[in-house]
């Protein structure tokens, strides 16, 4: 049984055990964070859910793990079964059937340059046919043309949640039409837009995008180069400006986001601020109002300087 299936089959029982009386949800949250199963931003957000019960926290955490894919589910189940402190605190977990036998799909090493078709109708059931892209010209002579086949595309598409797709769209909004990105409703739709813009001629671009949003498990499915993704930056089209903003989004806490929105009340309308559910939404509204750009981040720096020195330093280093 796959780890994700094992987690899904025991989801209700796990919720009940981890949400029980006299239990400390923070133990599980901290353990998951220590194992790097969630990012710092996700950890911060899961610590501060407004008006939440313990059960709400647990449901959000388990759903977050499930949305991250097979490998994270496997590591989460292993954590529940092998960590001494967790076993002592939640002995009821020993009675659950949490066994799993398969992990995330093996990386696809492609060698053909035959072209297929990537198509979609804009729905979550978008059909993704076998598609191939030739490797970029800067690859080494002994590296073969790379193909991303149907299995790999589907594994990536099915294991990205909506917040991760939103992050990827934000990272790409300088190089893909914003109008086209606004029409994206799922990961398959984003892959379609990237291919239409010739951004998947080298799978390194997709690998680096996935690494930026902390999905190295999915990036590892794209094994077309022996070097690590971070070592390959030639021709990488994302701007330092966009990466700087994403870093702030990655580090901002729920509390900081609320305070930032308060600071911007004189610059953005109430309606605009109400639409901002994440820091990415705030950046989008600020860009629409020409409050920030790749050549002017003073307004953002001034707001952060009074609220969060760590975030302000990220902007200062960019300037």
Average pLDDT of span 89-114: 55
Q: What is the pLDDT of residue 12?
A: 86
- Element at 98 (helix H, strand E): none
d(CA 133, CA 145): 8
3-state secondary structure of 28: helix
Instruction: Tell me the average pLDDT across 157-183.
Output: 87
Do residues 119 and 84 make contact, with C-beta atoms less than 8 angstroms apart?
no
Does the reported pTM lie above 0.85?
Answer: no
Residue ranges in 99-230 assigned as alpha helix (H): 150-158, 162-172, 178-182, 187-196, 203-212, 216-219
Query: The tokens of 119 are what?
Result: 């198509």
pLDDT classification of 104: cutoffs 50, 70, 90? very low
Q: Give the CA dihedral 152, 153, 158, 164, nearest 10 degrees.
A: 110
Mean pLDDT of 121-134: 38
Q: What is the mean pLDDT of residues 211-222?
A: 86
Most confident of 193-202, 227-236, 298-307: 298-307
**CATH class name, domain 131-238:** mainly alpha
| Pure H helices in the chain | 3-9, 11-18, 25-34, 40-47, 54-67, 70-82, 84-89, 150-158, 162-172, 178-182, 187-196, 203-212, 216-219, 240-251, 254-263, 270-274, 279-288, 298-305, 309-318
Helix/strand/coil for 242: helix
Map out the domains of the chain as residue ranges: 3-95, 131-238, 241-318
143 pLDDT higher than 50: no
Instruction: Say which range, 151-160, 212-221, 247-256, has the weakest mean pLDDT.
Output: 151-160
Interatomic CA distance for residues 197 and 213, integer angstroms: 21
Residue 204 burial (CB < 10 Å; 0-12/13-18/19+)? Answer: buried
Counting every residue written for the chain, the total comes to 319
C-beta atoms surrounding 211 within 10 Å: 16
Same fold, 131-238 and 241-318: yes
pLDDT at position 233 over 60: no
Gap between the terminal Cα atoms of the chain: 51
What would the pLDDT profile of 53-78 be if each residue is shown by its tens digit?
A: 778 888 888 888 887 778 888 888 88
pLDDT given for residue 223 in this prediction = 65
pLDDT at 302 over 80: yes
Q: What average pLDDT does the chain have?
A: 76
Residue 10: pLDDT band (50, 70, 90) is confident
Q: Which residues of 81-120 are buried (b: 16+ CB within 10 A; e: fewer)?
A: eebeebeebbeebeebebebeebbbeebebeeeeeeebeb
CATH 3.40.50.300 describes domain 241-318: no
Dist CA 23 CA 89 (whole Å): 7
pLDDT digits (tens, 9 = 90+) for 252-285: 888 889 999 999 999 999 999 999 989 999 999 9
Burial class (CB in 10 A: 0-12, 13-18, 19+), 130: middle
List, in sequence order, every residue forming a beta bridge with 288; answer none if it has no partner: none
Query: pLDDT above 90 covers what percent of the chain?
Result: 22
Question: Looking at the predicted structure, is the pLDDT value of residue 232 above 80?
Answer: no
Average pLDDT over residues 222-226: 58
Residues 15-57: tens digit of each pLDDT: 888 887 666 778 888 888 888 888 887 887 777 665 567 788 8
**What is the predicted pLDDT for the residue at 224?**
52
Which CATH code for domain 3-95?
Answer: 1.10.533
Residue of 151, 128, 247, 153 whose CA lies nearest to 203: 153
């Amino acid at each position: 049984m796959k780890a994700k299936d094992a987690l899904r089959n025991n989801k209700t029982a796990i919720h009940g055990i981890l949400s029980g009386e006299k239990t400390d949800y923070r133990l599980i949250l901290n353990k998951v964070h220590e194992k790097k199963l969630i990012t710092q931003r996700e950890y911060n957000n899961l610590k501060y859910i407004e008006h939440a019960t313990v059960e709400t926290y647990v449901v959000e955490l388990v759903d977050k793990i499930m949305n991250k894919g097979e490998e994270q589910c496997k590591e989460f189940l292993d954590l529940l079964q092998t960590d001494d402190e967790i076993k002592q605190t939640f002995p009821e977990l020993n009675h659950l059937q949490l066994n799993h036998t398969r992990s995330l799909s093996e990386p696809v090493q492609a060698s053909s340059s035959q072209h297929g078709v990537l198509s979609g109708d804009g729905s979550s059931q978008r059909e993704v046919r076998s598609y191939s892209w030739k490797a970029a010209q800067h690859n080494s002579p002994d590296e073969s043309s790379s193909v991303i086949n149907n299995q790999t595309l589907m594994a990536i598409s099915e294991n990205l949640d909506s917040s991760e797709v939103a992050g990827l769209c934000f990272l790409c909004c300088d190089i893909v039409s914003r109008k086209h990105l606004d029409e994206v409703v799922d990961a398959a739709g984003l892959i379609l837009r990237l291919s239409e813009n010739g951004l998947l001629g080298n799978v390194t671009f997709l690998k680096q995008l996935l690494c930026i949003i902390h999905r190295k498990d999915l990036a590892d499915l794209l094994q077309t180069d022996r070097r690590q993704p971070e070592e390959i930056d030639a021709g990488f089209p994302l701007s330092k400006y966009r990466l700087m903003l994403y870093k702030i989004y990655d580090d901002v806490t729920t509390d900081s986001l609320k305070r930032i929105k308060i600071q911007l009340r004189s610059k953005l309308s109430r309606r605009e601020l109400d639409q901002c559910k994440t820091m990415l939404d705030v950046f989008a509204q600020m860009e629409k109002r020409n409050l920030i750009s790749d050549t002017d981040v003073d307004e953002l720096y001034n707001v952060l300087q009074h609220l969060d020195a760590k975030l302000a330093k990220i902007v200062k280093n960019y300037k």
